Amino acid sequence: MNTSTTCLSASYLPTLMTYMTSLISEHSDTLPPVHLHSGDHFDFIVVGAGSAGCVVANRLSEITGWSVLLLEAGGEEPATTQVPAFLPYSFGSPIDWGYRTEKQTKSCGGHECYWPRGKVLGGTSALNAMIYNRGNSHDYDHWAEQGNTGWSYKDVLPYFKKSENNMDPDIANNTKYHSTGGYLSVQRYPYLEKNAKAIHEAFRELGYNGIDFNTETHTGVMFAQATQENGERRSTNKAFIEPIRHKRANLKVVPNVRVTKILIHPENKTAYGVEYANEIDRSETGRVFASKEIVLSAGAVNSPQLLMLSGIGLKETLEPLGIHVIQELNVGRNLQDHFSAPGVFFTLNEKARALPSNEEILIDSVKYSKAKRDGPWATVAASGTCAKVSTRYANHSIDNPDFQLIFTTHSSCAETKMPICYYDEINFHSTLLRPKSRGYVTINTTDPFVQPLIYPNYFTAPEDVDATLESYNIAIQLGNTKALKDAGFVLNASFVPTKEDFESGNNPLWEPYAWYSFHHQSGTCKMGPSSDSAAVVDPQLKVHGIHGLRVADASIMPFVTSGNTNAPCIMIGEKVSDMIKNSWDH
């Protein structure tokens, strides 16, 4: 197929996608408004129905004598999110918070960075690439060494297994690390794309073994395990909420409601409820109350914002806004993320190109029929293979690689968004797993509907730049493998960045939105003991100095885990649920 034909076929996609993309437009403003009764009382209020919040709501509502309210600013999860290859259609849609950071100097071409975050039941687990990656066992041992008792790898592994329903027998049989029967289905994608296979073979050619990241072996290459079942996404909404939503009378799930403030008695510093506004009709406001606890699971951006709006944060931030400081804590600091600087990509010859004809697209749609869920739509294309490797900057005395290598796809000729499985270019992303750079989230208004100010500060630590520069060598080695050459990959390393590029921001590849965040923002409500002046929550995830309030999401991570953060957030939800039950003798 020649390029002109390929580009012509790409123009057919808007017609094919009309129905599917219309589903994603059926978001909160087309649904009937949900009315909370102001003044209602519950035992527990969970704020945010994302990767952790859905788990917490499920597990707390297991106690039939407890009433649980789950509040989510976004709406119902649309049908398009279930199709793995359609994940690009979520970005920039109504189910995406669509955050923009403040302008950066050493990343994003000197412009804002785009941060897609899930504003929908399921949160970002409804938008991500579904990679199930627990991180490195050393991550959790390091957390425990910092005074976070109960968070070592030995402590958290049972909670990973508690959720899991692993559907690949060869993996599930390793019962030391995996389990079946949990709410969350985990499975390799049913369709293994040819270029994902070629990338996997290229790593094997370089000496990297095929491994399971979700054990204590971390260096190597893997066909991704994913939070999906037989070709359909399993967000935490689909996995933990839908099976029980209309079966447990003690659980109330309310979408399209934004929590605007946590109510805290200033004298005894006890959280007792929340203020809210209907996301559709913002004039409709009210208060609901919790007799036991409030669990804040709004994510690494919204959780610190809500704490600050409620009087928990730094005096220097809150007092100029007229917010009474109830508890001074380092809220919003310690921001971390996994981020990639563009530098190397692969163009594809006719053999490797994945831009089909109109007829082939229709065949793909038939393959992904309700009966089978197979074919290119049932996968995330080249992203179905990922690897973890060590540069010379890693600690080679332990198995603790410092980079995860991820491959994303791009169509050079499409004038519209394409399913991720249709492309003619593969981008190489080397992401530093344990960045030294730290950013922060803050507020400059008391309006809860104004996004907070986000300063990610990518690559401000020189060590991050040095390690990233070396990581590009692995891409060059891959480009020279027989596996990729035979598959039709053509390496383009013309724009490999230099240290000077990071200082000036002038690399030709560094357009504002060519940079790539892996949606792993974390750390902004840091967990640590009372002796840690930077900590916001203690190892029980209770906010320091405040009664009846916990935070449970990626924001509590003292150090971001070495990989995708969805699985760790689910684990956090599982673990805090048991902590809460134990606190109330259940």
Q: Where in the sequence numbering do the catalytic residues fall?
A: 520
Element (H, E) at 245: none
- The SS3 call for residue 427 is strand
**Three-point CA angle 546, 549, 552, nearest 5°:** 130
Distance (Å, whole) CA 184 – CA 330:
34
Distance (Å, whole) CA 204 – CA 198:
10
Distance (Å, whole) CA 354 – CA 543:
50
Find tokens 């941060």 and name the residue. Answer: 115
What are the residues facing 222 on neighbouring strands?
386
Question: Which residues, 6+ apart, have CB-to-CB distance to 119 below 8 Å?
Answer: 73, 74, 94, 95, 96, 97
Find tokens 């004039």 and name the residue. Answer: 283
Distance (Å, whole) CA 533 – CA 541:
15
Closest CA to 99 of 301, 394, 390: 301
Biggest CA pair distance of the chain: 73
Contact yes or no for 126/235 (Cβ under 8 A):
yes
Output phi, psi for 354, to 5 deg: -125, 55
> DSSP letter at 236?
H
Output phi, psi for 146, to 5 deg: -85, 5
Report helix, strand and coil shares of the chain as percent, to nearest 5. Answer: 30, 20, 50
What are the residues facing 522 on neighbouring strands?
336
What are the residues facing 165 on neighbouring strands?
185
Question: Which residues, 6+ apart, have CB-to-CB distance to 459 below 8 Å?
Answer: 106, 107, 339, 341, 437, 465, 468, 502
Question: Which residues, 6+ apart, have CB-to-CB distance to 283 below 8 Å?
Answer: 277
Find tokens 């929550």 and name the residue. Answer: 537
Distance (Å, whole) CA 345 – CA 353:
14
